[in-house]
Amino acid sequence: MATRRGVLSVLLVHALFVQMISYALRPAISYAILELGYSSSWLGVATAAFAIPPLVFALPAGRMADHVGERLCLVIGALSFLAAGFAALLAGGSLLGLLAATVLLGLGVLFSVVGEQAWVMRAAAPARLDSAFGLYTFVTSTGQMLGPVLLSLPHDDGADVPPFAMIAGIVTCMASLCLILSLLIPPVHSRSTASRNGRPRPVLRGAVQLLRMSGVLRALIVSSLVLSSLDIVLAYLPLLSQERGFAASWITIMLVARGAATMASRITLSHLTRRFGRRHILVAGSILSALSLMALALPLGVFGLTVAMVIYGLAAGTVQPLTMSWITLLAPVRQRGVAASLRLVGNRAGQTVIPLVVAGLSVLGGAAIVFGVTGASLVCAAWASTAAPSDDEGTAG
């Protein structure tokens, strides 16, 4: 048990670096694209370039985790991060180089997250799933807060933009550490274990079987809608600040407040689910997330908007780890790598389609209509959450 706890600590440090790499390099690439003189529409292309690898390779990555082991996924993810860092360093002065770095970054996040989540899915006891995923997502939230700090590093020539080369260099160093950590994480599930379970089924067939299980599709819908809402918050809060004329520094305050609230909700998640039940927390979290985003459409001042973001962080922060444990309870042990990758496919599909839909709405009514519609979509997530189990009965074997 002590060894398992030690490996979990290494995995959590790995997860911290993965999120720091992603949340530092992605916005830095956006700044670099704009600095090269390209229009903001190319930011949408970069977003798609990041999302496409998970849509294409997520299911094969899940099968790899199931039938070869999680370590190989983690190593491939770290090597992809290294390649992204070198692409940014060597070809970051061109649009093609920046897009290539974005694609490699997407691959790195895909393989790393599938490997991490598959490891946690198998290593945690059913009674401790909510606690394990709460701790895991607490660490990922910490990385998501720390990564953007690199954007505030001073530029060599005093320009008011992030120092792209310096950030790319730091990311490359962190990727090297990720590779070392990946090699230190033994797989919970190995090739020999997989062979005892029989011939591996085709990956698409396995995914379809999972989707046919009662509750799996609803869990994917909830996860996708909530994660997409966070992308929309990150993209449209700056537009809201421009429309209402408050300082950009308030955006930083709101996002930090949201991140801190999310971390608080995840560290207390195990206690909340033991007291109220998983289903009730999922439904309440989705409803409060919906109401807090709808509140952003109201003519609130900066303090009111910050309070709304804190409520959103607290509520939405409970939903993501609970959808992980929800899917884990439904999926057979031998298919939990595919289950993790299927969840990632659903998330990336939502992160690609939903922002494109609200982008058209923003032309009609600005940021207010975007947050109103996004909040309404989370009411659908609350409905889907009513299918979640409230305990660990029915755990797949």
| pLDDT of 18 | 95
**Which pLDDT does position 151 carry in this prediction?**
77
- What pLDDT is stored for residue 202 in this prediction? 58
Tell me how far apart the alpha carbons of residues 88 and 101 are, in angstroms, rounded to a whole number: 6
Distances in Å between the Cα of 249 and the Cα atoms of 221, 241, 302, 303 are: 33, 10, 11, 13
- The predicted pLDDT at position 173 comes to 96
Six token digits for residue 349:
């599909």
Domains and CATH numbers, the chain: 1-192 (1.20.1250.20), 203-390 (1.20.1250.20)
pLDDT at 158: 62
- Tokens for 322, please give them: 């609970």
Report pLDDT for 69.
79
* 259-to-145, 312, 324 alpha-carbon distances in Å: 6, 10, 19
**Whole-number pLDDT of residue 394:** 45
pTM, full prediction = 0.73
**pLDDT at position 249, please?**
67
Contacts of residue 324, defined as CB under 8 A and 6 or more positions apart, other chains included, come to: 117, 120, 121, 129, 133, 136, 137, 223, 343
* First-to-last C-alpha distance (Å) of the chain: 21
Residuewise pLDDT in 10s, the chain (397 residues): 447 778 889 999 999 999 999 888 988 887 788 788 887 567 667 777 787 777 778 777 777 877 787 889 999 999 999 999 999 999 988 999 999 999 999 899 989 988 998 888 777 766 676 677 778 888 988 888 888 778 778 877 766 677 899 999 999 999 999 999 999 998 875 444 444 444 555 556 666 767 677 777 888 888 888 887 887 776 677 667 777 887 656 777 787 788 888 888 888 877 888 888 888 899 999 999 999 999 998 888 889 999 999 999 999 888 888 887 787 777 776 666 677 677 777 777 776 677 667 666 766 777 788 888 889 989 988 898 888 777 654 445 4
